[in-house]
Amino acid sequence: MHSPRPAVVARAPGRVNLIGEHTDYNGGLCLPFAIRLATTATVTPRADDQLRMTSTEAASGDTLWQRYVVGVVAELRAAGWTVPGLDIGLASTVPLGGGLSSSAALECAVATAVAGLLGIPLDADTRRLLAGACRRAETDHVGAPTGGMDQLASMLGAEGHALLVDFADPGGPATTPVPLPVTAAGLALLVTDTGVRHSLADGDGGYAQRRRECEAGEPRRLRHVTTENDRVRAAVEAIDDGEWDRLGALMTASHASLRDDFEVSVPQLDLAVETANGAGALGSRMTGGGFGGCTITLVAADRAAVVREAVDAAYAERGWANPVHHLVEPGPGAEVLSTAG
């Protein structure tokens, strides 16, 4: 009889981007944070070479998601890790395709569990390496032209902190934790999921088109990138100085730029932003790639309920389905939860 094979459980969070959108693939700045919604991966080594996987969230009949997992393992092997065949079980509280990066949470949970299985410590260098491997899993194996912010936030996020990422650094993305004491300031961060779904894996989708337009140097698109980088710098200063009204104004300006110059908003996002601001939020913007997904709103904690009710009412007035709201706060990055046999 052989002893029971060891299983490793790891969790990796989704993320929300406070400010700095469509800047990652343009060598710019962004300021995401890891949220408490997360994906857990349980990995057990197999005697053979195969990868077998199940997910409690996968839609029945959908197998596309398996490419994320296969891609992560392939990239870790390409990086020189000796990864055995695996049974992989996934469960997630991150809404799929909702702009909170369930894809990065999935990739990073698998990668972190494999690191745990191989006994590789999760120091900053390893976290960076895993973020890169997970990004390539998504770009090269799934075909989603994502810029790398999501995986960095999931791997390097820290409790109570946002993560300033500078993609201009020649040594690879430079990351700096930025304390984000919103709760202590009596504020809340409200994510509103419009329910409108995008697909980053769609090569002909708007996201890929925007990337091509940026590469081609289209002035209006690049104006967004330049002004957005300035807003990220100003946002970090505002946070450092505790100037929350200013942070809110920068978020709203970011939304206007994404709507007017970058043209990645949709009416559902615009209405959520306008309604939140009209109901007394400090600021609000679409977050994530756009064409649907979520907004993030900075609001006094005691006004968060008023804001969400106002948005619900505005949607109802248009005959749109109720959006789903999440109060989010900066939580820890990916971690191994257990290595019990």
Binding segment for Mg ion (CB under 5 A), chosen from 76-84, 101-109, 251-259, 291-299, is: 101-109
Backbone phi and psi for residue 40, each to the nearest 5 degrees, phi listed first: -110, 140
Residue 97's binding partner out of ligand ADP, Mg ion, none, with CB under 5 to 8 Å set by partner kind: ligand ADP
Please report which helix (H) or strand (E) contains residue 204, including its range. none
Cα separation, 293 vs 14, in Å, equals: 13
Shortest approach of Mg ion to residue 49 CB, angstroms?
A: 28
Cα of 234 vs its chain's centroid, Å: 21
Binding segment for ligand ADP (CB under 6 A), chosen from 92-100, 218-226, 249-257, 329-337, is: 92-100
Cα separation, 250 vs 244, in Å, equals: 10
Residue 271's binding partner out of ligand ADP, Mg ion, none, with CB under 5 to 8 Å set by partner kind: none
Per-residue x/- track, 96-135, ligand ADP (CB under 6 A): xxxxxxxx--x-----------------------------
Shortest approach of Mg ion to residue 80 CB, angstroms?
A: 26
Binding segment for Mg ion (CB under 5 A), chosen from 100-108, 115-123, 209-217, 247-255, is: 100-108
Task: Spell out where 238-323 has E strands.
Answer: 283-287, 294-300
Our finding on whether 103 is near Mg ion (CB under 5 A) is yes
- Looking at residues 136 to 155 of the shown chain, list those that interact with ligand ADP (rule: CB under 6 A): 144
Which of 191, 298, 192 lies closest to 238 in space, CA to CA? 298
Among 23, 40, 42, 101, binds Mg ion (CB under 5 A): 101
Our finding on whether 196 is near ligand ADP (CB under 6 A) is no
Residues tagged active-site: 150
Our finding on whether 90 is near ligand ADP (CB under 6 A) is yes
The Cα-based distances of 89 to 9, 18, 21, 43, 44 in angstroms read 9, 31, 32, 7, 9
Residue 64's binding partner out of ligand ADP, Mg ion, none, with CB under 5 to 8 Å set by partner kind: ligand ADP
Residues with Cβ within 8 Å of 194's Cβ and at least 6 positions away in sequence, in order, are 266, 268, 269, 272, 292, 293, 294, 295, 323
Cα separation, 138 vs 119, in Å, equals: 25
Residue 222 tokens read as 């690049």
Cβ proximity to ligand ADP, 142 vs 250, nearer residue: 142
| Residues engaged in binding ligand ADP (CB under 6 A) | 39, 55, 57-58, 64-65, 68, 90, 92, 96-103, 106, 144, 199-200
